Amino acid sequence: MKRREFSLATLGTAAAVGTVGLMAPALAQGPAKFVAGKDYIKLGRPIPTETEAGKIEVIEFFWYSCGHCNAFEPAFAQWVKNAPKDVVVRRIPVAFREDFAPQQRLFFSLEAMGLLDKLHVKVFQAIHGERLPLNTDASILTWIEKQGVDKTKFADTAKSFGVASKLKRAVQLQNDFKIEGVPSLGVAGKYYIDGTSAGNMDRALQVTDSLLALVRQGRA
């Protein structure tokens, strides 16, 4: 979903967004030869990563209420599961508008409480399967309590300095990568890929694999 499509009406209808073409079968490829400026964007200025030496960072930028992000999640989760050991994956929720912030706080609070593995996919299911908006702090708190989470602890975590710092960093990364839509991927602090540039998100993962290989070879 492109950034310009996030109108005020989007928040209420995102669960119904179609995904035709987004997850189309990847284009048949010989040896992967992807082109900068066409299949991906090489950033003009590298962005510092948060990985140790010898590791390569891959960031997924997403929004819980985005239908395309929901459709991409199973494929990306499988890719993460099979990713080489030198790849460090981070998920960053975007905030194109102020009303995206509650879902950012939800993600980073779950992360801080060690609940992402248990509840990350359930958030998508609640929004896109059960048609729950989860777009305010109050609705999120009601939902989180139903998941068996201590709502007082969650509320305190959501208001913590640590979560506030991660929200600020997420917006900075979103701006540094010049995110134009989600889902999208950042590789090694140098490259940006989305469904528009790659053709679809399956192919975006192929581009990501190719760029990772270039980074390892020192050719990137």
Can you give the pLDDT at residue 180? 85
Note whether residue 25 is domain-resident.
no
Range of the domain at 104: 36-217
Query: Quick one: what percent of the chain has pLDDT higher than 70?
Result: 85
* Pairwise CA distance, residues 90 & 80, whole Å: 10
Asked if 3 contacts 180 with a C-beta cutoff of 8 angstroms, the reply is yes
Note whether residue 136 is domain-resident.
yes
The residue among 4 and 44 whose pLDDT is bigger is 44
Can you give the pLDDT at residue 33? 81
Note whether residue 198 is domain-resident.
yes
Can you give the pLDDT at residue 82? 96
Note whether residue 3 is domain-resident.
no
Q: Give the predicted TM-score (pTM) of the model.
A: 0.86
Please say if the pLDDT value at position 220 is more than 70. Answer: no
Can you give the pLDDT at residue 38? 94
Note whether residue 11 is domain-resident.
no
Domains contained in the chain, number: 1
Please say if the pLDDT value at position 8 is more than 50. Answer: no
Note whether residue 16 is domain-resident.
no
**Mean predicted lDDT score pLDDT of the chain:** 88
Note whether residue 93 is domain-resident.
yes
Note whether residue 111 is domain-resident.
yes
Please say if the pLDDT value at position 218 is more than 60. Answer: yes
Write the CATH number for 69. Answer: 3.40.30.10
Percent helix / strand / coil, the chain, rounded to 5: 50, 15, 40
